[in-house]
Amino acid sequence: MSNKRYSYEEKKRSIQHILSGKECVTSEARRVGAGYDTVNTWLRKYRENGLNGLKISKNWKKYLKQDKTKAVEYALSGKYSKHEIVQIFKISSKSLLDKWISTYTKGKRLKSTSKGISQMKTNKSIFTTGEERLEIVQFTIAHKLDYQLAMEKYGVSYQQVYSWVKKYQKNGTEALRDGRGRKKDPKELTEEERLKQRIKELELRNEELEMEKAIAKKLQEIQERFNPSH
């Protein structure tokens, strides 16, 4: 989809077409060469702030850290669509929410926006023992799966905490044992060990595929829910 910037007059004309019934959001988006979400955002801003909502703001909107984090948590919970979250937290666009989600899931810390710059601190993956991983998992579960809080308390990344919690929930404490150490050369493996390794690889791949299917299904549900059928 084009990255074209649209003027106030172009946005206003599109809103007039939609409100008059001449076009629906989908057909208007197609007419102007914009994405459905883009035109839908114009409509939402118009409904919230009138024609002033269509003007390009010269001031940066400030978003508090807690609001950013809560919006991301809403998205990750799967209970709300991105369109709903954008409206609930009055976020300027869905793409901005996507950016926050990406930042959060990559292990970066969201902070209040100041002068248009979102300040973030990255937590890199660090080495931990099995006992430490168990402590972090138990802390995370005790705090209602607050991954951000665990990241801040223990200095680990989002990916690490998320992975450990999932492993623990699936296979218990045994799954958190330290698996580091010298990896055997394939030639040293017995037939049984090679078979087990292959099965593990297939299981991991299957989990990835299931996750991809779940995400695709959720996206389809969102599109069907918000894309007008007529």
For the chain of 230 residues, list the mean pLDDT of each consecutive stretch of 10.
75 90 90 87 78 65 83 87 81 81 82 49 64 88 78 76 86 75 56 74 67 65 59
What's the DSSP call for residue 129? -
At position 137, the amino acid (one-letter code) is: V
- What pLDDT sits at residue 182? 41
Q: Measured between alpha carbons, how far is 107 from 155 in angstroms, rounded to an integer?
A: 10
Distance CA 83, CA 217 (A): 16
Question: Which position has the token pair 């297939």?
Answer: 202
How far the first Cα of the chain sits from its last, in Å, is 22
Task: Name residue 113's beta-bridge partners.
Answer: 118
Place of tokens 């994405």: 35
What is the pTM (predicted TM-score) of this model? 0.36
* Distance from C-alpha of 134 to C-alpha of 128, rounded to nearest angstrom: 10
Both tokens assigned to 159:
């990916």
The tokens for 141 are 């579960």
Give CA–CA dist 10/33, Å, rounded.
Answer: 12
Give the Cα separation of 17 and 27 in Å (integer): 10
pLDDT of residue 185: 55
pLDDT score for 188: 64
